[in-house]
Structure 1
């Protein structure tokens, strides 16, 4: 979720040119390389479980469909553990969220219980963002690696670290606010109103937060002098 174009800090003057030439990998990859790096994580953590859920639901029950998607998530995590590979933060988040949703789905559900699931998931994710802000590596710092292979040393820059912290707090507020608003909507409005309003807010909030994330990252990149120079 971070689209920050950055470079390693270099001294001013001729020395800067020399260091820049000696370290050609000190800038972020091009956008298409970032897409190729982040897209597989997104597909693995969200698209495949969703498709698997729909396929199983078509031939079986809702409970089995939810369990099938959850099994995929755990299999993806287990494969990385067995191969001693890093587990993407996006996969961790989706696994936790899907676990909560599956546990709720297995209960003797009602319309209220069913619609309560995204409230619980958003609340749990929001708390994870908020608590991670107290750690040396906030959650956005971890998520950034899933979408973009950041050059070595860039994440240690004070400006970038402040950006990660600020964006982590932003996404904590988005998820917790979304959870609280959805719960209020669910308990105070009719089902028809809930479905209509929820359909709008569930799209508008993440899109708005993503645009803020991009704009904020670009602004910090400019302030830090970390934007890559366009090729001539």
Structure 2
């Protein structure tokens, strides 16, 4: 049975506002810095697993998480990042590209390069590993390609989680440190492969996106799960 594109990961726990500000100020490692920046705005997180039954299993992310794509960004079937300044609208587009792929026209390296084009250029906050982990490893991608597997996505709704809005209301100036927003997106992924194979599953993900004033938004990370 062909392998499906992996479900999105949930990770991280919330820190207090003081702890998160301290973490950012002291310049921790990239992953911790991201968790601090996102948690600064999202508050206490809750672990969850939004994956539904699907035609295939979760691939290993050990290879893809550390991969350094060499193909031209935006190559293959991966959509290029839109020029949007609205966090919610950008998050809808980002979720769509994360849930979409086409092994018939796009190589593993092209998929990674295409997604990396969406990543913020601010390395202090960028968590490439959380995004690249969504791409199956090269061996699994090859097996999917043997089955001509591809997926399309439909976004049904996107919103700021209540924890994010509450944290922002408590400290409106916090957003100005990095302009990172948490947005939860829900939708459906349709998967197809040769000989008429098909499947679908509901999807939900909380993204961290950066939208600085007078600049287009960019993707920061697959954020910790937060209270809707």
The TM-score normalised by the length of structure 2 is: 0.28
More strand by share: 2
> Which protein has the larger Cα radius of gyration, Structure 1 or Structure 2?
1
